[in-house]
Each structure stands twice: as C-alpha cells, then as structure tokens.
Amino acid sequence: MSAKKVFIKTFGCQMNVYDSERILESLSSLGFEETSQISCADLVVLNTCNIREKAAEKVYSELGRIRRMCEDSAHRDQKKTVVVAGCVAQAESYEIINRASVVDIIVGPQSYHMLPEMIKDTERHGHKLIDVNFNHQQKFNTLPQRNTKNNRATAFLTVQEGCDKCCTFCVVPYTRGAEYSRPVEQILNEAIALISRGAFEITLLGQNVNAYRGKGPDGRMWSLSKLINTLSELDGIKRLRYTTSHPCDIDEELIECHNYNSKLMPHLHLPFQAGSNRILAAMNRKHTSEEYLRIVDSIRLTKADIALSTDIIVGFPGETVAEFDKTLRVVEEVGFAQAFSFKYSPRPGTPAAAIKNHISEAEKASRLNALQSLIKEQQLRFNISCINKTLPVLFDRHGRNSGQLLGRSPYLQPVHAIIPYKMLGQIVPVKIISAKTNSLFGILQGSQL
C-alpha cells in the first residue's frame, strides 16, 4: 500500500516555517509523506498567518479552492482531511468552522503535538475538532525529536514564543500567547539534531527573541547572548542568527556578543514601527524614537560593521502627515540595509482597531510609497557598498537561472553567482561585482567571468 500523503501550505513568518516542519515530522508517525501536489493529498494542512487582514483573507480563498477541488468529480472519491493551523486558526476557530464546511480540524500554534491524535479521531469518527489551548511547554516537550531528512545547510530553531509587549496594533499576544522561553538543554539537543542532518547555519526564532530567558542546565536563567555563545561552541556550527528583537530588550551583553562572537552574523533586525513619539506611545511600544536612535548608536559604536533591518507601519490611526514625516527622518538617520514596511491593518480585538480616526487607504498607500522609495534607495546604497568586496556566502539553493546558485551574505543579502553546483551547501568566498536593490551578484573569488 502506498504511503498516505500530506500537503502543507505555509503562510506568514519564519516561525510558521519552523512549525510546519515540526508538524510534518509529527505526522510521519502516522505514516504521512509530504507531497507538493495538493490533488494527490489525503491530508491538507494550511498553516496560517493573521498579522494583517490580507494574510488572513488568503486562508478563506484557499479554503474555497480546496472545497471546489473536493467537489470536483475527479477527486470526489478521495476524501481529504483538511486542517487549518496557525494564527488564523487560533483567532477565528469557530468562524472558520462555520464559514468553511470543508474544514475538519482547527489547531492553534500551541497544540500541534495534539494533531496526530486529532487526525486519527477525525478519520475514525468524522468529528470536526478544535484545539486552541495555550500550552507552550507541553507543545515543545511533546513534539517528536527532529527526525526528517533536512540536508539543508540552514535551519530555523524556535527558542522563544509569544509576546508580553502588547503593541496595540498586534495580534501576536492573542494568537501566540505570553512569552515563553524553551529550556537551554532542549534547544541544544535540537541544534545537535539539526547539525547531524546537515545544518551549520541556525537562525534562532522568537517573537521577542532577545527577551529570551530560558532555564539553563545550571538551574539559572540564561540570556540570549549566553545561549548564542554556548551554541556557537557546538561542533559543526558555523553561523548563528536570531530574529526578531524588541528595542527594549537589547542589552550590552548582546551588543558585545556581536563584537566578539565571530559565528554570530553581523545583522540585527530591530523593528521601530514609527518615528513619532506620540504614535509610539499610542502603539504601546515602550520606547521613543530618541531611545531607538541611541540604541542604534551604541550598537554601531561597538560593532560598526553590522547591517540593520527594521519593520515600519504607516497610517496608524490618527497619524498626521507631520508624524509620518518623523518616520522618514528616523529612516534617513539610521540608514537601513533592509526594511519591511506595511500599511496599518486593523486587527479585530486589538486596542488600536477601536481607535477612531482611521487613515484612508489612499493616504496609507501614498505614505507607503514615499517610505518605500526611501528604503529602496538605502538598500541599494548598502548593496552597492559591497561591490568589489569578497564576502563569505552560504549557498543553500539553486538560483532561478541555470548554472546559478543562490546564497546569503553575512548581512543576509541574497547573493546570486554562477558557480559549480557542487558548492551547494558550502560557505564560499565570493567577489561581489554588481548590486540591485534586493540582491547582489558575484563570482567565485579568483575566477574570471
């Protein structure tokens, strides 16, 4: 008998990518193998994102497509079990069940370890099931050890989940729960398993990763920098990264760590969200723009060679043109290597959604446009500054054009190069010869084009 097939589609952030891997691993205990073709799947999992309205809407259109496919005569005899996982599942469980009859199981981000049992139950009895309990500890203690083949040089590892900051625009505290840090030993074991499967660059993930305070083997609470220093001593680890950080949780120790730990890559993602102090207060960000700029100065004083990236929201309720202008000033002052910018999207249940005086879509679009042209200029400037430099690039995938590999520089820039395929999965010195806004192009150091 051929193995049962599971198709998984992942929306949103890197933590969802990590969770999807772990869901697949836990489903292998039921004999499921991954397929990239939804039409052949016995089980379909949508791992969803709720951060902005557009992301959440995608789930319902995807479910519509799945329903039509299930009704199609070609697939009618193959019953598919449909699972909605992730942050939309957590936030809108009953609405999904009511709106989309094709869905069998709703599972929130803290209940993935329950999924195999839920699937067995649904297959046996045809029940519709919902599990949206919060229990980080149980999730990480119960999910099976990393067991599938990876063969990729890069891997994600969630060390912290949830958020206590409660920015007024954000759903994360409601969908991922309060901050939880995994114990050090569990993380070390997982890192060793990832290394044995071929990974040597690990990105530590957390909604507020620099707020990490996990129980160490010595019984004390360890900081992120202590965790990074210990991970960097593991045999086989060549590169470490972490994301996402909150400005209020950046400490001297972490900044120093960038300076002396050569395995920690020179890149820091540090969202500032808005430039106006009135808007930052309304967002409950707990920092002013001056404080943010001081942190940036102090980072650069310790480690000048570091790429900074950020997240920015335009058109928060009540944001005036003059206040938006302050966002542009902060961007100008910092000079980001990369920045992600978004139109404010009201999320049901968050405090900001209840604020009056919402900014029109047209105005938000025009502010986003202005901000993105500034960001593009800065990204291009940073990328151009790399021309003629030789950077160690970790190639971890094939490029779009034949003969090309795609990798990442230490600063996280995508680098395309025409180099032998055998260098896939290696860190290779690459001389950068041209730059675009979103990527670099290089040649193997010493080779002629």
Which residues of the chain form contacts with ligand SF4 (CB under 6 A)?
163, 165-167, 170, 172-173, 207-208, 246
**Contacting ligand 5AD within 257-276 (CB under 6 A):** 271, 273
CB of 187 to ligand 5AD, least distance (A): 23
Q: Specify the 3-state DSSP secondary structure of 347.
A: coil
**Contacting ligand 5AD within 39-98 (CB under 6 A):** 51-52
In the bound state with ligand 5AD, the residue whose beta carbon lies nearer, of 229 and 345, is: 345
Q: How many residues interact with ligand 5AD (rule CB under 6 A)?
A: 12
CB of 353 to ligand 5AD, least distance (A): 8
Q: How many CB atoms lie within 10 A of CB 308?
A: 21
Stretch that binds ligand 5AD, among 298-306, 327-335, 343-351, 411-419 (CB under 6 A): 343-351
In the bound state with ligand 5AD, the residue whose beta carbon lies nearer, of 170 and 375, is: 170
In the bound state with ligand 5AD, the residue whose beta carbon lies nearer, of 271 and 410, is: 271
Cα 318 → chain centroid: 29
Of residues 8, 163, 313, 427, which one binds ligand 5AD by CB under 6 A?
A: 313
CB of 12 to ligand 5AD, least distance (A): 9
127 φ, ψ (degrees, to nearest 5): -70, 150
CB of 312 to ligand SF4, least distance (A): 11
Identify how many contiguous H helices and E strands the chain contains and give both numbers: 14, 21
How far apart CA 386 and CA 57 sit, in angstroms, is 39
Sheet holding 154-158, edge to edge: 154-158, 201-205, 239-243
- Show the tokens assigned to 391: 């950077």
How far apart CA 63 and CA 60 sit, in angstroms, is 5
Q: Are 341 and 372 in contact (CB under 8 A)?
A: yes
165 binding partner (options ligand 5AD, ligand SF4, none; Cβ < 5 to 8 Å by kind): ligand SF4
Cα 249 → chain centroid: 19
CA dihedral 68, 15, 49, 91 (to 10 degrees): 110
Stretch that binds ligand 5AD, among 73-81, 192-200, 341-349, 405-413 (CB under 6 A): 341-349
In the bound state with ligand 5AD, the residue whose beta carbon lies nearer, of 122 and 243, is: 243
For residue 150, count CB atoms less than 10 angstroms from its CB and return exposed for 0-12, middle for 13-18, buried for 19 or more. Answer: middle
The footprint of ligand 5AD (CB under 6 A) covers 51-52, 169-170, 271, 273, 311, 313, 342, 344-345, 347
